[in-house]
Amino acid sequence: MFIRLAIVCFLFHASTLLSDQRIIIHDGIEREYIIHIPMNLTEDSPIVFVIHGFTGSAKQIMEYSGMNAIADKESFIVVYPQGTIDSSGNTFFNVGYEFHNGSKIDDVSFIRELFISLSQEYSLKRKRAFATGMSNGGDMSYLLACTSADLFRAVAPVAGSLMNKIKDKCETQYPVPIFEIHGTGDQITLFDGDMKNTGGWGAYYDLPSTINFFAEAYNLDKKNIKEIISKKDGAEYDIFFERHWSDNSEEEVWMYKIIDGRHVWPGIRINWWNSPIFWYYFGSGNEDINASEEVWAFFKKYL
């Protein structure tokens, strides 16, 4: 179970981007976040939340995702919320892991309040946000889709999972488009799920069942799967694009299935790691696609 503790304790040495680190008081607790404001901000600019993984930080995911550069080009605000610290000293977002059963942290409320506050501060007309995240942050993205359709227009989990506890209470009457990027060789958030809770995180669904759950709940009656990247052409992995849609709805559910892909945010370089165990669990980083660019292209459909 605790192999996952190293998820985003990556020693990235990217340059620190010019962004503002802030504090907001929520439920009597000081909560930190980083915000990046593009130079060409307008009242119609959207907000994208980028949520770090278990044991990670807002600064780390800001650096390795490269989302600020895309924000500067496309004119959107990026917010990197910082998780709190659990009883074992690890940073986390509360999505209902088995060992967080006693936690009273309400991260849904925290992120909702943060979005409303920032929308008011910058006088934004757009009243709905987008969310993406890595691993625990991907789990959090699913939670926001299930609880906060009034504020979130679409979500894009990367190496995320749908916890059984979240699915049981998921509200789907107002569909939130979903785009999952996941490797079949992920040794941390298993592609095949863990409904028996052998890993100790709590029961979570396999990715095909997760995608089908939302597609069926949203009444998306059409499906297509096609290969978009092929090892035959010199790529590192075969990547398949699964799309669910309907002629009666603009909402869609997507998945990029990366054959043998590991537990990474595709598009980053981590192949300089010398640790065999890190290489086994995280792989080379997969440079066949850039997750941040793919995620933004999906979000852009719903502006």
pLDDT digits (tens, 9 = 90+) for 167-206: 999 999 999 999 999 999 999 999 999 999 999 999 999 9
Query: Contact, 144 vs 174, CB < 8 A?
Result: no
pLDDT at 65 over 90: yes
- Quick one: pLDDT at residue 287? 84
Helix or strand or coil: residue 191? coil
Cα 142 to Cα 178: distance, rounded to the nearest angstrom: 8
Cα 247 to Cα 249: distance, rounded to the nearest angstrom: 6
Query: Contact, 241 vs 289, CB < 8 A?
Result: no
- Quick one: pLDDT at residue 5? 43
Place of tokens 């095909």: 208
On average, the pLDDT of the chain sits at 91
Interval 6-43: pLDDT, tens: 433 433 333 333 679 999 999 999 999 999 999 999 99
- Quick one: pLDDT at residue 86? 96
Query: Contact, 290 vs 267, CB < 8 A?
Result: yes
- Quick one: pLDDT at residue 13? 34
Interval 227-256: pLDDT, tens: 999 999 999 999 999 999 999 999 999 999
- Quick one: pLDDT at residue 19? 79
| DSSP class of 91 | E
Using CB atoms within 10 A of its CB, is residue 299 exposed (0-12), middle (13-18) or buried (19+)?
A: buried
- Quick one: pLDDT at residue 286? 79
- Quick one: pLDDT at residue 268? 75
Average pLDDT over residues 104-120: 97
pTM (predicted TM-score): 0.91
Largest CA distance in the chain: 55
- Quick one: pLDDT at residue 10? 36
Average pLDDT over residues 114-131: 96
CA dihedral 67, 205, 162, 8 (to 10 degrees): -40
- Quick one: pLDDT at residue 282? 61
Query: To the nearest whole percent, how much of the chain has pLDDT over 70?
Result: 88
Average pLDDT over residues 201-228: 98
Strand partners, 264: none
Interval 250-296: pLDDT, tens: 999 999 999 999 999 999 755 434 455 455 556 656 789 999 999 99
pLDDT at 2 over 50: no
Using CB atoms within 10 A of its CB, is residue 239 exposed (0-12), middle (13-18) or buried (19+)?
A: buried
Q: φ, ψ for residue 217 (rounded to 5)?
A: -65, -30
Cα 54 to Cα 263: distance, rounded to the nearest angstrom: 13
Cα 168 to Cα 165: distance, rounded to the nearest angstrom: 5
Domains of the chain: 18-300 (3.40.50.1820)
Cα 129 to Cα 95: distance, rounded to the nearest angstrom: 19
Average pLDDT over residues 46-50: 98
Query: Contact, 226 vs 286, CB < 8 A?
Result: no
Helix or strand or coil: residue 229? strand
- Quick one: pLDDT at residue 3? 44
